[in-house]
Structure 1
Amino acid sequence: MKLNPLYIALLASITTNVSATTTDLEHIEVKGSYFNDYKVDNANGAMRTSASLLETAQSVTVITDTIVNEQLATTLGEVLTNDASLTAGSQQRNREVFNLRGFELSSSTGYLRDGHQHWSHYQQPIEILQQVEVIKGPSSILYGQSGPGGLVNMVTKKPTAQTLFNASADVDQHGSTRFMVDAAGALTESEDLRARGILVKQDVDYWREYQNGENRERDRFLGALVVDYDISDNALVRVHYDRTDDEAGLDTGAWIDNNANVIGSDKTIRDMSWAFTDITVENLGVDLEVFLADNWQVKLGYNEQTFERQRFESSPSRNSYDAQTNTYTSNPYDRFDDWQFTTAFIDFIGEFKTVGIEHQLLIGVNSLDYFYRQLRTSADSFDFTAGQNEPARPDISYKTPDRTSETEYDYYGIYIQDLITFSPQWQVSLGGRYDKQTRKGRNNESFVPKFGVLYHPNESATIYASYSEGFEPQNETITNDKDINFGMEIDAVTSEQRELGIKWQLLDDRLLLSGAVFDISKNGTLVTEDLETPIGSVTTETNQVGEQRHKGFEVAAQGAATDRLFVMASAMYLDANYERANEKLQGKRPVDAPKWSASLWTRYELNDAIAFNAGAFYEGERFADSDNTITKDAYTRVDVGATYKFNLSNTDINLRLNIENLFDKSYLGGGGTSNVTVGEGTNLRLAAQFSF
């Protein structure tokens, strides 16, 4: 068994002086050793077993809460910039969209929380997260509905037996504030009952402004509670609840012209100041873990997610914009959405030997019940010219709708996976999954396999090759009544990936280097385009255009380069195109899929009290339209930070200063011609963190 470097350092520093003629006491000297808080060796929440990353035939990145705290991140998007395989899409309407290996992550199938599929149509509350795991490539074998790019699993903080109480406050130069309390500990003397509670209050003032001069604002509250109870030495039950209330003014993004120049000022919001979105999200669930024997355990999980949203839109139309008069049409409406997302799973995990061959076997079943209801009412359209007084908010309400819709389906799958160890050098991972989705008037069934071979030249390195498939059932028809193909049935989307990779731990396993070459194909891709000449109220055309092919490679480094220098770095090259598509898209590159992207975040500890951070985030040229005629320039954003730690009256205090976009770089983020994100200039953040 290989000893942890921390233990080796401690053992090596112990000196014992024993006199030959007298009996002396032992003299033990313990020297300090590093704590590697940039590197995690497994992704249990995402892979459903205890296999390490070196035993996983797939590219996986784990972003720790240390990095999240150092960057003073407030959104999941700020966290995911630390992995170059993830690039940002549109950030309109107070939510974030991401592309993984060039494929957009779906709100319903692209995100997990603690292994549960998680409806993610909103900005995630990252303050409750312990780490974020990014699983690259189709992962349908474990979770069923899964896109070709992969999955993002959010691992939440858990109760601790040790009492902790952390409080923090941060502020930026615009006056935005965030206050957080995180408390945990045992509730009984025997420590068999433990709890953790987190409260967050955030008020955001954005740098972009409405045309009447008002600032865009956001008001967010988060409350979370997790309770663990040890039923016995072999059984644990966990109950969790969290609620997010998030209200914000709307900003559907900037408009750009054919040269990718922002139309008007970078600060201008085209939406009216009375447009808003109001979201309430609740999660309630229970998990049970029981060890049936030394090498066998069963895990059960259940979660109910309720997502309610009102969105009052002014809905400015880019297609109606008249550049000479600076006039455009708005089409206001009030809309209420209600999503009910219920998930459950049961896993049996066992380790055993047959004929000298070791097995780590996973057999499981999971299910998803999905319900969606929309109420909507529209007001009369109006024209607006920059400089005129803003029209009053229309007197309409979704409570008296002129349009309603409902969608409901059940989804379940049975899966099996076996990690077979033939020798210390050779392992094989294989498995399969059967899925069935039941929807009114239409059912979908599928079987997806997965196979991987791992070779370990030594105990700190892995070379692997893998094959996996994905399956995504689609809605029955195209439901946008403003689309020329409204009502057209949509077939299931399938995908497959071939990947060859290497993982290598260096410097006494303190630094993990990894690289992967991948080839992903997706069949049945949906593409929506604006019509050059709208036909009445019909403004878009959606088609399943055939195959989308993404090939490329990734390299990454994560961990401690020295006792004082920590690093998380990654880069990706991506060759992405539509193939066997219609004439308009054949050979074209998807929107927001750069050829090159890279990220770097580091910490250098000057001493035990002072540390410095520096980061650089690069995005190559990207297309803003599917015709590939509008190109957004490449950019590099540089961030820096510093922290000072000290103790006052038995309280650990951490003061932090971060400067985002140090060189005030102007750039365009994700999004297309009518919803592009304009990069913010230099922004200062200050934070104080207290640990009692």
Structure 2
Amino acid sequence: MGTTYTRQYRFAPSLALTTALAISTSAAISPASAQEAPSQAAQAEPGSEVQTLSPITVTGPESRNTMERQPSLDRLPTSIQDTPQGISVIPRELIEEKNIPSLREAVRNVAGISINAGEGGAQGDTLTIRGFSARGDLFVDGARDPGQYNRDTFNLDSVEVLKGPSSLLFGRGSTGGVINLVTKVPTLERSNRAEVSVGNGPFFRGTADLNMPVGPTAAIRLNVMGQDSETVGRDLVEQKRWGIAPSIGLGLGTDTQFTVSYLHQEEDNRPDYGLPYVFGRPAPVDLETFYGLRDDNEDVQVDLVTAKLDHVATDWLKLSNTLRAGYYTRDATTTAPRVNAVAGTPLSAIRVTRSRPSLDSETWSVNNTTTATATFATGPIGHTLVSGVELGYDDVDTKRYGFTGLPTASLFDPDPNAGVGTPRRVTSDTSANATTIGLFAADRIALTDQWSIVGGLRWDRFEAESDESIAGLSLDRTDTMLSTRAAVIYEPTDAQTYYVSYGTSFNPSAEFVSLSAAQVGLEPEKNRTYEVGAKFSLLDNKLGIGGSLFRIEKTNARTVDPVNASVTVLQGEQQVDGFELEANGRITDRWTVLAGYTYLEGEITKANDGTTGKTLQNTPEHSGFAWTTYEVLENLELGAGAYYTGERFANNTNTNEVPDYWRVDAMVSYTINDVRVALNAYNLFDEDIYDGVYPGHVIPGAGRTLVLSAAARF
């Protein structure tokens, strides 16, 4: 399929622009091309006309080299190749060819991400990036998405993973990185796609993506999804969800574009809390063993409304505003298995304790981000300046429940029909809210044709309040923090980028809009990252290769007070050293590849709880993957790949360890008359996989899963 790529670089000669943007209510990180900026800037004398370079047009097969892509964020307005940060992209093409239904499955295609098994309120997509939790670092179209739910791919165009601290761009959190989900938007090209999938488990799924222009500058788009499935190799685990996502775009292709979108998703699941640990390892039982109860349930509803306005004010200034309102509900009663057996106890004598976390939560979230991106020159120096303001409000109401009289279970033959104890009773009733104000600015300065620097600063004010009615406890806290970013970039050619970068981030006590008496008096945890990296576009820009060395330091980690164990203090330190490699794109017009590898050495370097020198939980030393496809005949395509996650500890005391695993996937597809029929195999060799990790339990991955799908474009 032919694709056209166009690059343009503009600079305006306004010396007063820096002052004007410093007080603007907008911005986002945006390095203009370092190679083009100085030479163009040198021609832009004060009072002269704005000069625009002629577009560079390249045609050929659809690009799979994500280095050439433009990130979706207004805060990152240059290509991934030009950005001094590790960025991995899961493109729509991969989601479709692998028939990926969920975010959790998608991020397997990014090395350095581990999957957590949440408990209580930390459900849904709970992930670890470069050794640090990313539970609060999920975004949709650049706006924070705090809901605890299973994010589906039916309305996604791509997934962007930004590695390293990104508080300059996103505010609180982002110690190891952030994940930004890019949704499908209306376009002026008529396109429709529908897909039906069936598989063992059983697995049933249907999706439709309908895009229709309704005028010369307007279009509407509708995405729908329904899924009813069970996990292969796991008894009684069920996932049911459906969703609808309409959107409308106005002014498409003009200087002023406005898009409004809506997402509604519902889930009705019997959640999986996996297996307990026995003597520090996953219980030595058949992986299908289910320790939950038949009436375990999880009902989730998500509603997101997003309005985005983009306006090209002049040749050198672009403005944008994104407003997001979200409403999330979750009612869940689940069973978590626990074993506390003395070493040497016969396995036949071990009883499994069933704890029953249960909650009913309601979350409102409103976020507005205004950004301005300007390209201009000061004498011979080119600038790309981004500034902005973020305003946010979150309101969370949570009731937690408890049970008594819960039955224990046999280690080898648990009964899912056992009694469920007394009716649940309210144990806590909490109302909490948080207000965010963030101001940020960053400038990429092109010093020469090959050298540029980036400097940025963000100020955040984060205020949280919490009231717990049963205990009669009211707490509040306000934090202000500065986040910084700096980088030096060397680009000897358009196809080579070398960089050294530094960035900071912070984690306030109320990061997840909750406060506790033990932590209410604590300032935010502070983090910093050092990174050295390189990016290359090879084979006429068909293939992208990148790599980096990095160190992440948490300089004041939370740890117990050495005098009073019920109090938390900021006297800990944690560190992760690592490197990563990635390749993506086309080797030939018929052969595509996506591969990555990450090495992590995570250590608790200081703590008051006896964990000094221990390895950070859920931080495998080695993780990696490779996926490749080849068009062996016209319209006949084969694909295969392998995924590896090394051994990792489930807790920071390193007493529970999860074994490593390999997973092999494969695919064969045939396309005729715009209909693509595909067979995807996941965990082809039916390996025992321990996937989601939590200190108290581990969730097995699915066994061999075969999915047959038919997708039609019309």
TM-score, normalised via structure 1 length? 0.87
Q: Please say if 1:283 is aligned against 2:304.
A: yes
Show the counterpart of 1:102. 131
Among 366, 369, 372, the residue aligned to 2:396: 372
**2:685–2:704 Cα contact (<8 Å) kept:** yes
Contact 1:300–1:345 (Cα < 8 Å) also in 2:
yes
Could you tell me how far apart the structure 2 residues matched to 1:274 and 1:284 are? 33
- For the structure 1 residues 155 and 633, does the alpha-carbon distance in structure 2 shift closer, same or farther, using more than 3 Å as the test? same
What is the 5 A alignment of 1:120-269? 120-188=147-215, 191-209=216-234, 215-230=236-251, 233-258=254-279, 260-269=281-290
SS at match of 2:286: coil
d(CA) in 2 for partners of 1:435 and 1:480? 18
Distance across 2 between alignment mates of 1:389 and 1:92: 19
- 1:52 is aligned to 2:68: no
Q: Give the letter aligned to residue 423 of structure 1.
A: T
1:426 to 422, 426, 451: 451
Matched with 1:456 is 491
Give me the whole-angstrom Cα distance separating, in 1, the residues matched to 2:584 and 2:671. 24
C-alpha separation between the residues in 2 aligned to 1:389 and 1:225? 40
Unaligned runs of 5+ in 1: 8-31, 529-537
Q: Is the 8 A contact 2:663 2:687 kept in 1?
A: yes
Q: Could you tell me how far apart the structure 1 residues matched to 2:307 and 2:579 are? A: 39
Matched residue type, 2:417: E
Match of 1:309 among 330, 354, 357: 330
2:19: which partner in 1? Answer: none
Report the equivalent of 1:23.
none
Tell me, yes or no, if structure 1 residue 390 matches structure 2 residue 411: no
AA partner of residue 449 (structure 1): T
Give 2:583's aligned residue.
557
**Matched residue count:** 640
Alpha-carbon separation, structure 1, partners of 2:705 and 2:138: 29
Secondary structure in 2 aligned to 1:381?
coil
Q: Does the CA-based 8 Å contact 1:477-1:490 persist in structure 2?
A: no
Check 1:175–1:92 CA distance in 2 against 1; reply closer, same or farther (3 A cut): farther
Question: Which residue number in structure 2 is paired with residue 14 of structure 1?
Answer: none
Secondary structure of the 1:376 match is strand
CA contact (8 A) 1:43 1:133 kept: no
Q: Does 1:598 align with 2:624?
A: yes
Verify the 8 A CA contact 1:478 1:488 in the aligned structure 2: no
> Counterparts of 1:444 and 1:159 in 2: how far apart (Å)?
40
> 1:547, 1:5 → 2: CA distance?
49
> Residue 93 of structure 2 aligns to a residue in which SS?
helix
- For the Cα contact (< 8 Å) 1:139–1:468, is it kept in 2? yes
- Report the counterpart of residue 610 of structure 2 in structure 1: 584
Question: Shift in Å at residue 156 of structure 1?
Answer: 0.7
Which one-letter code corresponds to 2:435 in the other structure? Answer: D
TM-fit CA distance, 1:469: 0.4
The one-letter code matched in structure 1 to 2:263 is D
Contact 1:477 1:487 (8 Å CA) reproduced = no
Confirm or deny: 8 A CA contact 2:197 2:707 kept in the other structure: yes
On the 8 A contact 2:232/2:705 being kept in 1, the answer is no
Offset of residue 402 of structure 1 = 4.8
Work out whether residues 554 and 571 of structure 1, in 8 Å CA contact, stay in contact via their aligned partners in 2: yes
Letter of the 1:347 partner, please give it.
Answer: T
Residues 132-177 of structure 1, C-alpha deviation per residue, up to 9 Å, x if partnerless? 1110100011111122101111111111212222110111111210
C-alpha distance in 2 between matches for 1:276 and 1:523: 40
Aligned residue identity for 1:510: K
Provide the rounded CA distance (Å) in 2 between the counterparts of 1:129 and 1:555.
Answer: 25
Q: Report the alpha carbon displacement of residue 542 of structure 1 after superposing the two structures with TM.
A: 7.2
Q: CA deviation at 1:547?
A: 1.0
Q: CA deviation at 1:260?
A: 1.9
User: Structure 1 residues 192, 618: closer, same or farther in 2, change over 3 A?
Assistant: same
Shift of residue 394, structure 1, vs aligned partner: 5.8
- 1:27 maps to none
Higher relative contact order (Cα pairs below 8 Å, separated by 6+ residues): 2
Q: Distance in 2 between matches of 1:327 and 1:221?
A: 38
Letter in 2 for 1:404: D
**Cα displacement string for residues 325-377 of structure 1 (whole angstroms, at most 9, x for unaligned residues):** 45334344642101111110111111111102111111100122111111233
Which residue in the other structure is 1:470 paired with? 505
Change (3 A) 1:466 1:354: same
1:653 and 2:675 matched = yes
Q: Partner residue of 1:337?
A: 361
Name the stretch that deviates more: 557-566 or 261-270: 261-270
In structure 2, C-alpha distance between the alignment counterparts of 1:567 and 1:333, rounded to whole Å: 43
- Greater shift, 273-282 or 46-55, is seen at 46-55
Q: 1:640: how far off?
A: 0.9
Residue deviations 1:199-253 (CA, integer Å, cap 9, x gap): 101001223555xxxx322210110011111189321111111101011012212
- Structure 2 CA distance for partners of 1:244 and 1:63, relative to 1, 3 Å: same
Q: 2:708 aligns with which of 675, 686, 691?
A: 686
**Identity of aligned pairs, percent?**
24
Report the secondary structure of 2:698's partner residue. Answer: coil
**How far off its partner does 1:39 sit?**
3.0
Shift of 1:563: 1.6
Q: Which residue of 1 aligns with 2:543?
A: 511
Contact 1:340 1:371 in 2 (8 A): yes
Q: Secondary structure at the match of 1:268?
A: coil
Does the Cα contact within 8 Å between 2:625 and 2:644 map onto a contact in 1?
yes
CA distance in 2, matches of 1:307, 1:527: 32
Residue 310 of structure 1: SS of its match in structure 2? strand
**Which of 276, 293, 303 pairs up with 1:272?**
293
The aligned residue for residue 499 of structure 1 is 531
TM-score by length of 2: 0.84
What is the rounded CA distance, in whole Å, between the counterparts of 1:48 and 1:642 in structure 2? 39
* Aligned residues of 2:65 and 2:585 also touching (Cα < 8 A): yes
* Separation in 2, partners of 1:556, 1:389: 44
Cα distance change of structure 1 residues 155 and 478 upon mapping to structure 2, 3 Å threshold: closer
Please state whether the residue corresponding to 2:633 is helix, strand or coil. coil
The change in CA–CA distance for 1:545 and 1:46 in structure 2 (over 3 A counts) is farther
Q: Which runs of 5+ in 2 are unaligned?
A: 7-58, 466-475
Per mean C-alpha deviation after superposition, the further-off stretch among 141-150 and 252-261 is 252-261
Residue 638 of structure 1: how far off its partner (Å): 1.2
CA distance in 1 between counterparts of 2:356 and 2:655 reads 30
SS of 1:124's equivalent in the other structure is coil
Find the counterpart in structure 1 of residue 20 from structure 2. Answer: none
What letter is aligned with 1:356?
P
